[in-house]
Structure 1
């Protein structure tokens, strides 16, 4: 006789989840990658624009050579420099090009810098270019020097008595106040305005 055949239980292992086949997972990954790519492009675009602005500012500063005469004017973006003839009164002479972190040496220079995102790119040290016999006072665009009528000059005004194209305050008469620059070498002898 034959023995009845007993059915053997079939053991099945539960299917392991296959997350890589899950459509929702890949949708989320795709969205995250798209956001990361867009953010990366934005940051790169901003960085390139800042570099172009910095390069343009450096080029503008380099366009002013030591010895060039310039005037200052106010614009919506701040103080602008314009090359001019040295006979323009008043004007400035570019004395030095310096790093953005440096200061013009003796405090008498007018400093001009271009700022990109709150960081100066470089600086120019500007020496006053004044005419003997004329009167001036501070307070023009960007704190610049203004030509004033000696007869109507205010208390902060001064008159240029002498000008020397060298850095030597001893040349000034005792009744004047020397104002000197090392670059370009220049000394002014100043006095109170007379009407």
Structure 2
């Protein structure tokens, strides 16, 4: 799943680079246009990732004890519910690194699915990979799912503090602006 590592590294390189240098904003004329282009790229790479995962599993032997179709159905439904409901709650720019473009939400989303887990897209995606492995009865799928889990876990070790700092900076700037407004 070398591709998954590359995909996450690309996302976590482009996002901070945009935040610091605004290179996509400059190329595409606005933060929204830059975010939309990055969204298409991330979404497309995700489709390619899923295709490569399924192709890798197709070449692996079936192992009956791993085949758990009913558990797979439940995990797939849960995983996709987490992913799709988080996309709905965040919207396009919230889902696809809009905060790195300066497109910030008014407040953190705390309702479902964020009241279940702080990273519903990552954990929902991981559950979906696990579901496919169990549905197809592929040990290799379990190992690849473990790799996806580790990649997402490591990504969050960096992403969560970075995102928290973006919002903390906004609050500091707002406080300075209010302070400056009172003096005038």
TM-score range, shorter chain: under 0.3
Which structure shows the higher strand fraction?
1
TM-score (norm. length: structure 2): 0.23
TM-score (norm 1): 0.22
Which structure has greater helix proportion? 2
- Give the structure with higher Rg (CA): 1
Which structure would you say has the larger RCO, counting Cα contacts within 8 Å and 6 or more residues apart?
Answer: 2
